[in-house]
């Protein structure tokens, strides 16, 4: 059924349909209609970062930026949902158009630029959700945090600290996004002493908040796929040294594989996601896992469009898998297919 509706939806502007689809999904949930179309959540519990996940398949950040659709997305069968990226202050993001479908490649290019309504609005939406009010155990919630575009790299840590302060009580885990290609200079935070200083400050804040609320919320770092072998080695050493709780591999890529069919749209700037990034993401995933020596769990994301793709990520050493572009192209059936396949592990 989803594929039937997709043909109609894909006739229109990508960003408008993105917003409309989420609104319709939440409307269907509100009137109790989703249960007639969604399969039951696959129950295959696993513990990662000290958190009990209902299953290994999650939604990557970027789809529900303001956490306004948690309940509807949870009913789709995800074991966990990551909302955001959220910044301290609301911001419009980059100029439109900024979201493009490469349909022949089942891929997407986006240059959204952390458009969101700010951390206060995100927290308010979480508090208004059924997930928050009734049963958090059904689905794990991650909150992806970033810096405002106007904030300098020298002051970036302050933005992350502000977001941590406001979201800590409401998250099962928090993701530090330092790898989006659509915020100028952001990826510089992945390297050298700047990365160590950032993570040290955030781990200190985590300890302070854990003591204040008597609750430990793990911190994960999301890295890019556009990294050299030496850069991955250095990042791994710094993640281990700062005792980060998890790492997400990987964000979208600035590269454009020669195999892309939609060459005209491939010239658009922004991050590429979907099947064309699968191999590149896997290379970084496998190298990082080798460098981490089992000391930090890894969440894999990047190009997963089938159950076999998800299984490949897990067999490469990942503990959990996130989907995004595959969900847009295949719909909720991909969630249950992947989660069921991973029961074989």
With tokens 């060459």, the residue in question is 263
Residues contacting 55, CB < 8 A, separation 6+: 41, 42, 43, 44, 45, 46, 77, 79, 339, 342
DSSP 8-state assignment for residue 195: H
Q: Report the distance separating Cα 94 and Cα 334, nearest Å.
A: 30
Ramachandran quadrant class, 114 (left: phi over 0; alpha: psi -120 to 50; beta: rest):
left
Q: Report the distance separating Cα 168 and Cα 114, nearest Å.
A: 20
Ramachandran quadrant class, 270 (left: phi over 0; alpha: psi -120 to 50; beta: rest):
left
Q: Give CA separation, 285 vs 51, 61, 62, 95, 331, in Å.
A: 22, 18, 20, 32, 25
Helix (H) or strand (E) holding 57: strand 57-59
Determine whether 330 is an active site residue. no
Hey, what are 168's tokens?
């800590």
Selected catalytic residue, list 180, 273, 281, 336: 180
What is the Cα 171 distance to its own chain's centre? 14
| Cβ–Cβ under 8 Å, residues 256 and 308 | no
Q: Report the distance separating Cα 58 and Cα 275, nearest Å.
A: 17
In order, the DSSP letters of 158-169 are: HHHHHHHHHHGG
Q: How far apart are the first and last CA of the chain?
A: 30
Catalytic (active-site) positions: 180
């Amino acid at each position: 059924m989803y594929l039937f509706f997709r043909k109609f939806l894909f006739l229109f502007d990508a960003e408008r349909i993105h917003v409309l689809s989420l609104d319709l999904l939440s409307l269907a949930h509100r009137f109790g209609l989703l249960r007639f179309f969604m399969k039951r959540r696959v129950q295959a519990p696993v513990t990662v970062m000290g958190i009990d996940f209902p299953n290994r398949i999650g939604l990557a950040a970027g789809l529900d930026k303001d956490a306004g659709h948690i309940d509807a997305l949870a009913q789709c069968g995800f074991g966990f949902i990551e909302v955001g990226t959220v910044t301290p202050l609301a911001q419009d993001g980059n100029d439109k158009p900024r979201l493009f479908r490469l349909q022949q490649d089942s891929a997407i290019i986006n240059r959204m630029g952390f458009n969101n309504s700010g951390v206060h609005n995100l927290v308010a939406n979480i508090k208004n959700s059924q997930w928050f009010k009734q049963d958090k155990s059904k689905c794990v919630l991650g909150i992806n945090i970033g810096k405002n575009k106007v904030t300098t790299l020298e002051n970036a840590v302050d933005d992350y600290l502000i977001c941590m302060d406001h979201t800590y009580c409401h998250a099962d885990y928090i993701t530090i996004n330092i790898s989006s290609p659509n915020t100028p200079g952001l990826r510089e935070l992945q390297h050298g002493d700047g990365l160590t200083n950032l993570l040290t400050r955030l781990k200190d804040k985590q300890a302070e908040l854990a003591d204040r609320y008597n609750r430990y919320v793990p911190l994960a770092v999301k890295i890019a796929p556009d990294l050299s072998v030496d850069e991955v080695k250095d990042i791994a050493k710094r993640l281990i040294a700062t005792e980060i709780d998890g790492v997400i591999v990987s964000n979208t890529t600035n590269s454009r594989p020669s195999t892309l069919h939609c060459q005209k749209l491939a010239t658009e700037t922004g991050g590429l996601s979907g099947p064309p990034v699968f191999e590149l993401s896997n290379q970084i995933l496998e190298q990082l896992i080798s460098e981490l020596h089992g000391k930090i769990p890894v969440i894999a994301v990047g190009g997963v469009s089938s159950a076999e793709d998800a299984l490949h990520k897990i067999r490469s050493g990942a503990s959990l898998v996130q989907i995004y572009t595959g969900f847009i192209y295949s719909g909720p059936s991909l969630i249950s297919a992947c989660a069921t396949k991973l029961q074989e592990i």
